């Protein structure tokens, strides 16, 4: 199950898979939230704040040496 608000869907699990990064590795790199909170976001049980999205994207960039945008983590789903 993936967390969805009325218009946003969290795609972090897919992004990690596509870039061969484990949730554990990401949790080691993201220092601003607890690992349990990050795992909840990865599972789709929790919607991240924009600050958390920024921290996740910066951590992924450090790990993969790639550039990511919020659109890579959050997907708009119109009603």
Residue partners of 71: CB distance under 8 A and separation at least 6: none
Q: What is the pLDDT of residue 79?
A: 67
Give the C-alpha distances (Å, rounded to integers) separating 35 from 5, 66, 67.
Answer: 22, 22, 23
Q: What is the pLDDT of residue 9?
A: 86
- The full set of domains in the chain, from first to last, is 8-72 (1.10.260.40)
Tokens of 66: 């790639």
Series of mean pLDDT values for 10-residue runs along the chain (79 residues): 66 96 97 96 92 97 97 85
């Amino acid at each position: 199950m993936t967390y969805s608000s009325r218009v946003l869907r969290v795609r972090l699990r897919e992004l990690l898979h596509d870039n061969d990064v484990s949730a554990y590795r990401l949790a080691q790199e993201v220092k601003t939230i607890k690992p349990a909170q990050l795992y909840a976001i990865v599972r789709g049980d929790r919607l991240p704040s924009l600050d958390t999205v920024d921290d996740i994207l910066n951590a992924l960039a450090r790990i993969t040496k790639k550039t990511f945008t919020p659109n890579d983590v959050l997907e708009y789903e119109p009603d």
